[in-house]
Amino acid sequence: MYGLSTNFCCCSIIKTPPIFDIHIVSNIGSIIYFFSALLSAAWVMKFLTGKKAILRLSKRAMHLEWKLVKEIIFLGTSGFVMSVTNGLVQIVCNATLQRYGGDIYVGIMTVINSVREIVTMPVTGLTAASQPVIGYNYGAGCYQRVKSAIRFTAVGCIVFTTVVWAVLFLEPRFFLQMFTKEPGILQYGVSAMRIYFCGIFMMALQFAGQSTAVALNRAKQAVFFSLFRKVIIVIPLTMLLPMIGNLRTDGVFWAEPISNVIGGTACFVTMLLTIWPKLREGSYCSQ
């Protein structure tokens, strides 16, 4: 993975010429990205078919089993749905903020989304890393290990996001200044960031619940809660809350913590009610 990332970055840097005309930046950047990705893909295929690979690809093994393909696609649908709904939510948020607050608040939301991507990256990594551990031990009948992995993932995510929430609440201006020096964004962005991230620790429960569902081949459950939090809760609240009292732009930012509390609780409790009881003691795994 590190080799792939390094190769991709180096290709992009080496191939990037000095660009002075702003009108050709976009086109040249796209071409560079395409050829860098193509070269990186060729490098990966060379490695996977070479002698250093533990599991080497061969022509005899490169045929599709549609049953497995369907399962893989279905399991990946959860992440796909989450990405699509994030984009949809962003469109609704920007349109609502433009209506009630103007360009400054659209800029604030852009910065907040950048901060969110950074602070949730470790949580995403932890939950993604737990999936093969949970899935393997469940298949092996090691239910106590599955429980331990779920506990570790949930507690780790909650602790990390709680620390993140505390830091963002105490020093929101520092994170805003990482992306902009615009006085208006710095002035109004402090309270907006505090509102937006005040329920982030509850989102950890959704991450843990969804990753467990995906690991145990419960893709329908994972997809449902991806849609539930974003489409059923966030989007309606984003449009309705600004019309209540004098909330206006604050209502848009309050939609996120409210959805974190409702969606995170619903997802994790459902996991405890549907999956946890099946992890009975007395498994045939040697602990």
- Would you state the pLDDT for residue 222? 79
- Measured CA to CA, the distance from residue 234 to residue 85 in angstroms comes to 10
Return the pLDDT at 2: 44
Q: Supply the pLDDT for residue 231.
A: 86
Pick out the chain residues at pLDDT < 70: 1-29, 75, 78, 281-287
Counting beta carbons within 10 angstroms of the beta carbon of residue 258, is it exposed (0 to 12), middle (13 to 18) or buried (19 or more)?
middle
List pLDDT tens digits, range 242-259. 988 888 888 999 999 999
User: Mean pLDDT for the chain?
Assistant: 81
Check residue 158 and give its pLDDT: 92
**Residue 114 to residues 59, 163, 180, Cα–Cα distance (Å):** 43, 18, 11
Question: Domain segments of the chain: what residues?
Answer: 2-61, 66-278
Instruction: Kindly list the distances between the CA atom of residue 214 and the CA atoms of 28, 78, 107, 149, 156, in Å, as whole numbers in the listed order.
Output: 39, 8, 35, 14, 18
